Amino acid sequence: MPQTIHIHNHPRRGGWWLRIVLLLLLISLVLNATQLVSYRDYASGSQPPFERFVDGELKSPDKIAVLEVQGIIMPPYSDRLLKSIERVQEDSSVRG
């Protein structure tokens, strides 16, 4: 008499949970990459102050510094502003 072989295929348990978690992970990675690209310039290092003549005598040795601030002033975003303030303080021609 020939031997009978029975193959039992058991459904995988939790397979749909894994798919949901992987989908959420993929969505999170896409959103994080999008925000990284969007805020790359904002999070980059500080730039030297931009000097522009506004009023008064053009050849005057004295300057007044105007620092434009947009957004939130709190760590870690305040580092850029603090570096700009330090650069202005080091400039001996700035009087105000």
Q: What is the pLDDT of residue 43?
A: 62
User: Contact 25/62 with Cβ under 8 angstroms?
Assistant: no
For residue 74 the two structure tokens come to: 């709190």
- Prediction pTM value: 0.41
Q: What is the pLDDT of residue 49?
A: 61
For residue 32 the two structure tokens come to: 């994080």
Q: What is the pLDDT of residue 47?
A: 61
For residue 49 the two structure tokens come to: 């102050």
Domain locations in the chain? 15-90
Q: What is the pLDDT of residue 56?
A: 78
Q: What is the pLDDT of residue 25?
A: 98
Q: What is the pLDDT of residue 29?
A: 97
Low-confidence ranges of the chain (pLDDT < 50): none
